[in-house]
């Protein structure tokens, strides 16, 4: 999708992501072509060498293998140069020890968006917060390059990477098993059968409840998680 197609606005859930070419700490990338067939956690951070971002990067880097096991790649971005990214990531590896994480190597690509071209395409610059620093945005993008979830956080507060992983697992589970997941759902817990679309199916659903699923009412029926824990 081109910028014209989104008219400069944030790409919304269900839309194809805007495409771009960018320099990163791992070389040039063409997005989304280089990530075909994979989920992508595309996130922005306000600036290198800042405390909250440092804790976020260490946490993401420590979880990178978990995301890879879910067929998901991490992709970072800030309005800093590649040299600044490299210097910051080296400092993290060589000097920073935080909550039991140390010697942490950030292996995922981090985009250097000095022209702000990419951050503008994704609505990562929000002038109420800052004109020169990207807010903490997260786009979860599916293997067909469609936006599936969007999270925005302010500059002052770090994200919950466990929640990003939990949501990814939930969406993958919904896609695979055509189910929905309740509040605070974790893998292994009961899932929701999509609500019936007619009076007939509503009655049928309640009448047949028992062994395979249980209904709290006609619109809220739960069944066992199709998988155990992954
Ligand atoms: C931080 O990552 O620590 C940070 C960045 C920008 C504004 C405030 C905090």
Domains of the chain: 3-159 (3.40.30.10), 178-223 (3.30.1020.10)
pLDDT for 226: 86
DSSP 34: G
CB under 6 Å to ligand 1: residues?
46-47, 50-53, 133, 155-156
Question: Given the CA of residue 53, which atom of ligand 1 is nearest to it?
Answer: 2
Between CA 150 and CA 162, with CA 71 as vertex, the angle to 5 degrees is 50
Cα 2 to averaged position of ligand 1 atoms, centre (Å): 31
Residue with the smallest CA separation from ligand 1 atom 7 is: 155
Q: State yes or no: is 53 an active-site residue.
A: yes
pLDDT for 5: 63
24-44 burial: b if 16+ Cβ within 10 Å, else e: bbeeebebbeebeebbbbbbb
Question: Given the CA of residue 45, which atom of ligand 1 is nearest to it?
Answer: 2
Specify the pTM: 0.94
Query: Partners of 213 in the beta sheet?
Result: 223
pLDDT for 229: 44
pLDDT for 7: 67
C-beta separation of 133 from 46 below 8 A:
yes
Tell me how far apart the alpha carbons of residues 30 and 23 are, in angstroms, rounded to a whole number: 9
Residues of the chain below pLDDT 70: 1-5, 7-8, 228-230
- Residue (of 47, 79, 73, 46) closest to 60 by Cα position: 73
Question: Given the CA of residue 56, which atom of ligand 1 is nearest to it?
Answer: 2
For a mutational test of ligand 1's pocket, the pick from 43, 44, 47, i.e. the residue with the most ligand atoms closer than 8 A to its C-beta, is 47
- Residue (of 143, 49, 125, 35) closest to 91 by Cα position: 49
Tell me the HSE value of 123 on the side-chain side, using a 13 A CA sphere. Answer: 15
pLDDT for 230: 35
Pairing mode of beta strands 110-112, 147-153: unpaired
Tell me how far apart the alpha carbons of residues 191 and 185 are, in angstroms, rounded to a whole number: 8
Tell me how far apart the alpha carbons of residues 72 and 74 are, in angstroms, rounded to a whole number: 7
């Amino acid at each position: 999708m081109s910028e014209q197609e989104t008219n400069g606005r944030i790409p919304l859930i269900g839309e194809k992501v805007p495409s771009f070419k960018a320099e990163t700490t791992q070389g040039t990338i063409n997005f989304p072509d280089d990530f075909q067939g994979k989920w992508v956690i595309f996130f922005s951070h306000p600036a290198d060498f800042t405390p909250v971002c440092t804790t976020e990067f260490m946490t993401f880097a420590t979880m990178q293998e978990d995301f890879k096991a879910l067929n998901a790649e991490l992709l970072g971005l800030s309005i800093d140069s590649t040299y600044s990214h490299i210097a910051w990531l080296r400092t993290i590896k060589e000097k920073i020890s935080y909550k039991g994480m140390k010697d942490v190597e950030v292996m995922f690509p981090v985009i250097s968006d000095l022209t702000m071209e990419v951050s503008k395409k994704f609505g990562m610059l929000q002038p109420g917060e800052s004109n020169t620093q990207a807010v903490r945005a997260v786009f979860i993008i599916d293997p067909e390059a469609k936006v599936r979830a969007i999270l925005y956080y302010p500059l002052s507060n770090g994200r919950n990477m466990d929640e990003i992983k939990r949501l990814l697992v939930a969406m993958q589970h919904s896609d695979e098993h055509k189910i929905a997941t309740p509040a605070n759902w974790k893998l292994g817990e009961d899932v929701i059968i999509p609500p019936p679309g007619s009076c007939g199916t509503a009655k049928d659903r309640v009448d047949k409840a028992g062994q395979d699923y249980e209904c709290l009412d006609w619109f809220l029926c739960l069944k066992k998680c199709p998988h155990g824990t992954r």
